Structure 1
Amino acid sequence: MKTVICEQPGSLVLIDRPSPEPGIDDVLIRIKRVGVCGTDLHIYTGNQPFLSYPRVMGHELSGIVESAPAGARVAKGDQVYVMPYLACGKCIACRAKKPNCCMNIRVLGVHTDGGLVEQLAVPQEFVFKADGVTLDQAAMIEFLAIGAHAVARADVQPKQRALVVGAGPIGMAALIFAKLRGAEVTVLDGREDRLRFCETLLNADHVVRLDTTGAAADAKQLAELTGNEFFDIVFDATGNVKAMERGLEFVAHGGKYVLISIVSDRISFADPEFHKRETTLLASRNATPDDFETVLKAMRAGLIPTAALNTHTLKLSDLPSEFSKLLDPSAGVIKALVEC
C-alpha cells in the first residue's frame, strides 16, 4: 500500500509497504481522508517534542471499515472516524476517565505511525461511526474536538468574555465552541486574513491585530473592549513562549487561563500578577470521547462551517512535493485534507 513517511525534518517520501494484518481486537480501515494538523507541520519542521524519526504522520482520520471483530460497534462498510489517542485504560488518568492524558498514551502519527496510508489497523475501542456527516467532515472532528475540550475544561458560560489568542485551526475551534456556549469571544492574532476569517465566517464578536511594535496597542484595545476588566477566560493557541507568558496579562481578576498549545520550553509568570487575579491555570491536552461526540452533534446540526474551514485538498501521492507549500502563510491554509 502507498505510504508517506517523514524520514527526517523536511523530508517526506512516498514508499510502498505491506498492508497491515489486523490483530484480533483491531478494526481494519481503508483511510479516505487525513487532516493536516499543526502537529504534522511541527513534525515536518523538526519542532515536535514527543517524536522520533522516521514517522508516518496523520492523526485526523476518516475512512471505511474493511473488517472488524465480532461484536464491535462498527462493521464492514461503515464510515468512521478515529480517536487517535491510544490510551492504556489502566493508569490513574484512564481510571479517572481522562484517557486524553493517559500516562502511557500513544498518539497515532506522533508516538506511533499514523494515517498517511491506504489502510490502517486500529484497536476497536478507538474507532467510531461517523453517520450523518461526510468523509471530509469526519476527518475534521479531531481538531475541532481539541477546541471543544478546552472550552469544556474552562466551563465556559453564557455571556462570559473569552479571548482566543492565536487564530490557527485550534484557536478557531475554541472560538466556535465558546460561541456555541453563548460567550462573547474576542480573537487576537497577527494575521489579518485569519482575523477576517474569524470575524466573517466564525462570528467572532471582536478581532484585534497583534501589535509587534512594542507599543502594546493591542493590550489597550483589549482593555477598551472590556472596560479595563479584561477576560473571564483566555485561551492560548499560539505555541509561542512569549505569547503564553504574556497572555496572563489579559485574564480578568478571578479568571481562568487555558493553555491549549504546547512548547518544548519552560513558561513563567510574574507571581504577584498571578496571585492578585487568583488565576485558575488549566492545561488542555487532546480530547475525550465526549468531546468528539460534542463535535459530531454540532456538525450534524449544521453549526460548524466545515466547507469554509477546508481550504485545501491534496492527494496522498503528491504530498512529498506539495507539503512544504502548506507552511507558506500566503497560501491561506486553514485546514488541508489529504485524499487517500
Structure 2
Amino acid sequence: MRAVLIEKPGVISVQEAPMPVIEDDEVLIKVMSSGICGTDVHIFHGEYLGSYPIIPGHEFSGIVEKVGKLTKRIQVGDHVAVEPNIACDDCENCLENRQNFCVHWEGVGVSRPGGMAEYVKAPEKAVFSIGSLSFDEGAFCEPLSCVLHGIEQIPLKLGDRVLVLGAGPIGMLLARTAKIRGASTIVQVDKNPSRLAMAKAYAADEVFNDLELLKGQVFDVVIEASGTKYLLENSLHFARSGGSVLFFGVPKNDLLIQLSPFEIFSRSLKIIGTYTSVRNSMQALRLMESHQIDVRPLINPILPLSSFSLGVQSLVEGKEGVMKVMIKPQQ
C-alpha cells in the first residue's frame, strides 16, 4: 500500500509500505478521508510526542475491509472512524476514567501507524460506526471529540461572554460549541482575513485581527486555541476577575511562557488545561448527525496522499483559505 512516512523530524516521503496484518481483536480499515491536524505538523517538526519512523494521521474514517476472529461489534463494510487514543483499561488512570492519561497509552498516528495511508488497523474497541455521516465528516469525530472534552472542563454558563483566540478549524469548533452550550457573545481573534470572514459566518458575533483592539474588554471565558506564546501570555488579561482561561491550542513541547502568579491570585483566575478526549466520540457523532455542528465548511483543500507535504506546508505558511486539509488516500 501507499503511505506517508515521517522518517524523522523534518524528513517525509510517500512510499510503499507493508499492508497491516490484523490481530484477532483488530479490524482493517480502508482509509477514505484523513485530516491533517496541527499535531501532525508538530510531529513532523519533532515538537510533540511520537516515535519515528511513523505513519501519521489520527483523524480519519473509512470502510472496514477485514475483521479479526474475536471481533463482535464491527462488520466488514461498516463505515467507521477511530478513537486514536488506545488505553490499556487496566491502570489506575484508566480505572478512574482518565484513559487519556493511560500509563500504557498508545496513539494511532503517534506511536503506532496512522491513517495517512491506504489502509490502517486498529483494535475493535477503538472503532465505531459513523452512521450516515460522510467520510469527511467522520474524519472530524476525533478533533470534535477533543473540543467537546475541552469545553466540558470550563464552567461555561448560559449567557457567558467568550473570547476565542485563533480561528483555525479547532477555534471554529470551539466557538460553535461554546455557542451551543449557551454563550451569549463569541468574539474571535485571528490574523488571517479569510479565517475571520469564515468565523463571522460560522459562530462568532464579532471578529478582530489584533488582540490590542480588545484592550479594556473582559470576558467570562477566554479560550486560547493557537498554542502561540503571545496569545498564551496575554490571554489572562482578557478574563474578568473570577473568570476562566482554557489553554487548548497545542504549543511546541519546549515552549515556556511568562505569567504573573500575583495576577492569577489577586483576580482569582482559573487556568485550565485540556488533553485529547475521554469517551467523547458519540457526542461528536450526534452533534454532527443533528446538524448542530456542520464541519463541511471547514474543509479546504482536499488533496491526494501524494500531496501530504504540500498540505503541511500550506498550514505552516497560513495560506489564505486553508482550513482543514483533507487527504484522500484512495485517489
Do they fold alike, i.e. is TM over 0.5?
yes
- Residue matched to 1:278: 268
Q: Which residue of 1 aligns with 2:236?
A: 248
Contact 1:165-1:188 within 8 A present in 2 as well: yes
- The amino acid of 2:240's aligned partner reads A
Which piece of structure 1 moves more, 4-13 or 166-175?
A: 4-13
Q: Which residue of 2 aligns with 1:185?
A: 186
Task: Work out the CA distance in 2 between the residues paired with 1:24 and 1:155.
Answer: 43
Cα displacement (A) at 1:52: 3.7
State the Cα RMSD in Å. 1.8
Query: What SS class does the counterpart of residue 58 from structure 1 fall into?
Result: coil
In structure 2, the residue matched to 1:175 is: 175
Q: Say whether 1:114 aligns with 2:118.
A: no
**CA gap 1:328/1:241 in 2 versus in 1, 3 angstroms:** closer
The within-5 A match list for 1:11-50 is: 11-44=11-44, 46-50=45-49
Structure 1: stretches of 5+ with no match in the other structure: 224-229
Question: Unpaired segments of 5 or more residues in structure 2?
Answer: none
CA, structure 1 residues 266+58, in 2 after alignment: closer, same or farther (shift >3 Å)? Answer: same
Deviation at 1:241, TM superposition (A): 2.2
Aligned-residue sequence identity (percent) comes to: 30
Paired residues for 1:1-340 under 5 Å: 1-44=1-44, 46-69=45-68, 70-183=70-183, 184-200=185-201, 202-211=202-211, 216-220=212-216, 223=217, 230-263=218-251, 264=253, 265-289=255-279, 291-320=280-309, 323-340=312-329
How far apart, CA to CA, are the structure 2 residues paired with 1:160 and 1:255?
A: 10
Q: Letter of the aligned partner of 1:192 in structure 2? A: P
8 Å CA contact 2:192, 2:320 repeated in 1: no
> For residues 178 and 205 of structure 2, what CA distance do their matches in structure 1 show?
11
Q: Counterpart of 2:215 in 1: which secondary structure?
A: helix
Instruction: Name the CA shift for 1:71/1:24 in 2 (closer, same or farther; >3 Å).
Output: closer
1:155–1:90 CA distance, 2 compared to 1 (3 A): farther
Q: Which amino acid aligns with 1:25?
A: D
Distance 1:250 1:173, change over 3 A: same
TM-score, normalised to structure 1, is 0.90
* Greater displacement, 260-269 / 16-25: 260-269
How many Å separate the matches in 2 of 1:322 and 1:168?
Answer: 14
C-alpha change, 1:81 and 1:283, in structure 2 (3 Å) is same
Q: Which AA in structure 2 matches 1:180? A: I
Deviation for aligned residue 1:320: 4.6
Runs ≥4 in structure 1, deviation > 4 angstroms? 320-323
CA deviations over 1:277-310 (Å, ceiling 9, x no partner): 2122211111122x22221111111122322111
Does the Cα contact within 8 Å between 1:188 and 1:208 map onto a contact in 2? yes
1:52-111 C-alpha deviation (Å, 9 max, x unpaired): 432211000101112224453211110000011111212232112121232332222222
Q: Say which is worse superposed, 126-135 or 243-252, in terms of deviation.
A: 243-252
Structure 2 counterpart of 1:234, one-letter code? V
Q: CA deviation at 1:47?
A: 4.5
Mapped to 2, the partners of 1:210 and 1:134 lie a distance apart of: 36
Question: Which residue of the partner structure matches residue 226 of structure 1?
Answer: none
> Would the aligned equivalents of 1:312 and 1:337 in 2 still touch at CA under 8 Å?
yes
SS in 2 for 1:64: strand
CA gap 1:10/1:47 in 2 versus in 1, 3 angstroms: closer
